[in-house]
Chain A
Amino acid sequence: MNLSIRLAHLYPKLMNLYGDRGNIICLRHRCRARGIELTVDELDLGDRLDPQAYDLIFIGGGQDREQRRIVRDLIDVKGEAIRQAVEEGVAALAVCGGYQLFARYYRPAVGEDLPGLGIFDAHTEHPGEDVARCIGNVVADWDGGTLAGFENHGGRTYLGGGARPLATVRTGYGNNGVDKTEGAVYKNAYGTYLHGSLLPKNPRFADHVLRLALRRRYGEVELAPLDDALEEAAHAAAIRVATSR
């Protein structure tokens, strides 16, 4: 069977804080190695999203300025379609600033609240410009193993009863630096603070995302194993760095 995945990359020019494109590069690589056809549609301001068309939605991080630029478009132009797609089981991965906007709202240090899509039952508050940002290497335990990455966010995210955390923090801040949670999961939508880039050096998580993306059209798919020696070495090195300093 010829497998294919269609990915909607939201606001690639605006939401691309440090290395988020590494996630796309990684997905392309892991699909190509298995003969899965991956099509990436870049959806910018004004572009509509067809909720039936996509298997995977990706949004990266951005500065406060970029979050403000996209928030009305995200909610008014794409919001309903994204919510519908997620309800129907489409996979989604939202990193950092994108994660914050997939939750209920973001209350910045100064200025008005930014409303979010409410896909994750969670909200984010920035404790003030004089409070240190959450910056550093992160190691967190997830159902499928460990996640290793780098976080850099001012806002603290708190989960409500309707969202479960993606992972439990071993080293680093995660959602808020207090309750040891990192990220959020709702259906097949995942939010996380991890850059690094995340997917290249977390190959098991990358494959988990690919399996979710394939599930809607193809059911459970066995992914051919890849030679991940280098990926696992980078994963181990990131854990070593995070836990030794």
Chain B
Amino acid sequence: MSLRVVAAIAAGKLAGTASRAFGRGGGTALPGVVAEKVEPRLVERLAAQLGHGSIIVTGTNGKTTTAHMLSSVAAKAGYPPLHNRSGSNLMRGVATALLDSAGLLGRLSQAERRLGVFEVDEATLPEAVRAIKPRVLIFTNLFRDQLDRYGEVDSIAARWRSTLEAAPESRIAVLNADDPSVAALRESARGPVIFYGVDDRSAALAGPEHAADSRWCAGCGSEYVYDTLFYGHVGHWRCPGCEKSRPQPDVSATSIRLEPGGDTTLSVATPQGKTALSLRLSGLYNAYNALAALAGGLALGFDVETVRAGIEAVDAAFGRQERFEIDGRRVQVFLGKNPAGLNQVLRTIAAVPGEKRLLLLLNDDIADGRDVSWIWDADFELLADGAASTIVSGHRAEDMALRLKYAGFPSDLPVVRGTDEALALALRETPPGEQLFVLPTYTAMLEVRGLLAKRGGAAPYWEAPS
């Protein structure tokens, strides 16, 4: 191992220890930043040691939960996963995860048995793929997200295409058949393609949502026609202009049962035969995450029974439907950071019977996106009638309160400064035995999760068990 790698690891580990010691959070990115300064090719050098290679998950929504499921699958299969589980998904987050498993001499522990499971930011993908050289690459979906940070949706799609066009022929692409902008990537893939999707039409929406992005065929420009629409622009699509249509998925949910606020069960057809999945997660979007993980696990060569068991063992990834028990109240955190993802959250919560108690936290830090306009594209109207109590906080709480007023919520919602105070008030408004739904943006999620962990005793996110 080169001296530079050794020096980079020492510097990174020191930064992580210091960050944790001074209470500056989990050190899920800083060690990577420091180490990459010393050795820019650190990720490439360390990832090359992974005996079973790597799988990468990217896309606008579903990365963290899908990667979480795959990590569990790897563990079930007997390959210790190396996983950037904190959701820190830029190069520095990947570097930090690798550093954490590296000894001071630059060797990964159990290197020959390990499988890398990395979620990667959609804009960072080209760089990450060059360094990690994954065996399998999963694309979940493509929606507008933080336009101030990522630029326009088209530029992300272009990066994905060039990444696939530069890949070796052995690399397997796992694609969501139901998202036309993801399914179109098959034309750029040089290696095998596995499609996943939902065949069960009973999960369809009654009408179209506002938060749809890929409405027009990238090839001929015609507007897609949908026989069935599941959410956003995801469904059974076809192009009336050039006859392109949704590919028949290799891994497909033939029936989905969504228990409101509870488990989700799926019957899935796979190339290895039928299987059934029972998830401890709610909502159609988690059914899609499970299908992505199932297709990814099969692409890695695991048998369907192992993959099923791995996926079913997964509870919520941090901040994604994660549950806490605080003073006899059930608290559940639903990260929502872009219109399409938040609409899925809103539908999932709206399906839970009874009156809802809500805490909404809107931040505009860099990781959230500075632009809060996106809240006007999400359908908060879905919850307006069922809310018994609603508390608003975050750096842009007033914007959120205004959005809610126009969605039909009362115009005098409490706007509370300070996440701690807002959480305390929301808990007081929730009678014992009842449930509080917390809907934060990304940085607000990290904060509220830390507060809940403190009150409820769950592990902080950088130590969460897999």
Contact = CB atoms under 8 A, between A and B. Distances in A.
Contacts of A195: 371, 373
Nearest to A237: B398
7 residue pairs, one from A and one from B, having the closest CB atoms: A19-B373, A22-B376, A19-B376, A234-B398, A18-B373, A237-B398, A63-B152
A238 B370 contact: no
A141 interface: no
Interface in B385-441: 395-399, 401-403, 405-406, 411, 415
A14 to B, nearest CB: 8
Contacts of A26: 406
B52 interface: no
B174 to A, nearest CB: 27
Interface of B: 144, 147-148, 151-154, 210, 215-216, 221, 364, 370-377, 395-399, 401-403, 405-406, 411, 415
Count chain B CB atoms within 10 A of each CB in A18, A227, A238, A241 and give the residue with the most.
Answer: A18
Interface of A: 13, 16-22, 25-26, 29, 63-65, 69, 133, 135-137, 150, 152, 195-197, 200-201, 227, 230-231, 233-234, 236-238, 241
A20 B374 CA distance: 9
A201 B372 CA distance: 12
B370 to A, nearest CB: 7
B376 A200 contact: yes
Contacts of B215: 13
Given A136-B370, A150-B370, A231-B402, 15 more contacts: A18-B373, A19-B374, A19-B377, A21-B377, A25-B406, A64-B154, A135-B371, A195-B371, A201-B398, A230-B398, A237-B396, A237-B397, A237-B398, A237-B399, A241-B364
B97 to A, nearest CB: 30
Nearest to A26: B406
27 contacts: A13-B215, A18-B373, A18-B374, A18-B376, A19-B376, A20-B376, A21-B377, A22-B373, A63-B152, A63-B153, A65-B154, A69-B221, A136-B148, A152-B148, A152-B371, A196-B371, A197-B376, A200-B402, A200-B406, A230-B401, A230-B402, A233-B398, A233-B402, A237-B396, A237-B398, A237-B399, A241-B364
A112 B398 CA distance: 42
Nearest to A136: B370
A4 B409 CA distance: 26
B147 A201 contact: no
Given A19-B374, A241-B364, A152 B147 contact: yes
Nearest to A66: B216
A18 B144 contact: yes
B57 to A, nearest CB: 25
A200 to B, nearest CB: 6
Nearest to B149: A135
A20 B210 CA distance: 11
A196 B402 CA distance: 12
Count chain A CB atoms within 10 A of each CB in B148, B398, B405, B415 and give the residue with the most.
Answer: B398
A149 to B, nearest CB: 8
Contacts of B210: 16, 21
A21 B376 contact: yes
Contacts of B415: 233
B401 A63 contact: no
Nearest to B396: A237
Contacts of B376: 18-22, 25, 197, 200
B339 to A, nearest CB: 9
A150 B405 CA distance: 21
B407 to A, nearest CB: 8
Nearest to B216: A69
A29 B376 CA distance: 14
A19 B154 contact: no
A196 B154 CA distance: 22
Count chain A CB atoms within 10 A of each CB in B215, B221, B395, B405 and give the residue with the most.
Answer: B405
Contact of A135 (B370, B398, B402): B370
